Amino acid sequence: MSDRNLQSAIQKIQQATQMIPKAGIILGSGLGGLSRQIQSVAEFPFEKIPGLKTSHASGHEGRLILGYLQQQPVIAMAGRLHRYEGYSSDEVTYPIRLIRSLGAGVLLASNAAGGLNPKYCVGDPIILGDHINWLGQASTEASPPNVRDQSTGFLQSGSNFYCSQLTSLAISVAKKNDFSAYVGTYLGTLGPTYETRSEYRMMRRIGADVVGMSTLPEVLLARRLGMKTLAVSIVSNVANPDSPSTANHDEVIRAGQQAGSKLEKIIRAVLDNLDNQVA
């Protein structure tokens, strides 16, 4: 995406508010209810922001909201863009560039995902500790030298995409509020399709705990831009490869809505501790 679009987007937002967000929040399928808890100071439909594409996925409102939650300045996306909508990785991650450019140093990303681990239940929050990237393309945005190998140009890998402090905090919130949450591995696929029983078996065997069609492009760019990241999957259905069943998007949205209070508790706790997370 062009720097001209980015500068125009920043200018448009700053004309509406001089608030500098500390955290960016991405609310995935069925999880947009938290956006209505934000004390809004400015809101924009995605299509009104220069360079930002329109979300066509069901359950994604397509609004950018600046305001206060837990008395902290935040910028929230009620909905997101997906590769399966025909957008490139750079188009999908453009909001991350914008969020970071406006000042946010922490990214809180959420999604609804299929459960592969048989111990999970619908509505459980899974805190991403690692991922398997099957989306086939990382963002082409330039990376800081400390994240990209200078001899090969490859993005450095490992399990450091997700902030361990935020992960521990999320798990402690679940224990304190008496609901289940686990640290797991997210498998990102291009979609748009739900998995066959054989695919479920394969994904579980290679170490995936949940599977979805988003989040990884955003996390990859956020890490390159030096943001601390917490990503949470809400289990929308649990795979049973030995029993025929059909997943559908309405089921995904309902699960997200029902589990919204758990996600809200986690995000509010992170914001309460935000001053300890932002350098």
The residue annotated as part of the active site, out of 1, 85, 113, 162, is: 85
The span from the CA of 180 to the CA of 212, in Å, is: 20
- How far apart CA 133 and CA 203 sit, in angstroms, is 12
Of residues 20 and 138, the one with the higher pLDDT is 20
**The pLDDT of residue 162 is above 80:** yes
Residue 195 or residue 203, greater confidence: 203
Catalytic residue of the set 23, 78, 109, 213: 213
Selected catalytic residue, list 5, 68, 249, 264 = 249
Q: How many domains does the chain have?
A: 1
Q: Is 113 a catalytic residue?
A: no
Q: Reply yes or no on whether 237 is catalytic.
A: yes
* Residue 77 annotated in active site: no
Catalytic residue among 23, 78, 82, 222: 82
Q: Name the catalytic one among 214, 227, 239, 255.
A: 214
**Dist CA 262 CA 127 (whole Å):** 12
What CATH number is attached to the domain comprising 184? 3.40.50.1580
Give catalytic status of residue 29 as yes or no.
Answer: yes
Confidence band for 194, pLDDT divided at 50, 70 and 90: confident
Active-site entry in 113, 120, 237, 239: 237
Q: Does the model's pTM come out above 0.85?
A: yes
**84 labelled catalytic:** yes
Q: Which residues span the domain enclosing 244?
A: 3-276
Residues near 178 by Cβ (< 8 Å), separated by ≥ 6? Answer: none
Looking at residue 260, its pLDDT comes to 82
Express each pLDDT in 114-145 by its tens digit.
999 999 999 999 999 999 999 876 554 544 44
* Model confidence band, residue 59 (pLDDT cutoffs 50, 70, 90): low
Catalytic residue check, 40 = no
Q: What does the pLDDT look like over 215-228, one tens digit per residue?
A: 999 999 999 999 99
Assess whether 131 carries a catalytic annotation.
no
Decide if 88 is catalytic. no
Q: Which of 43, 61, 84, 251 is catalytic?
A: 84
Active-site entry in 9, 29, 91, 174: 29
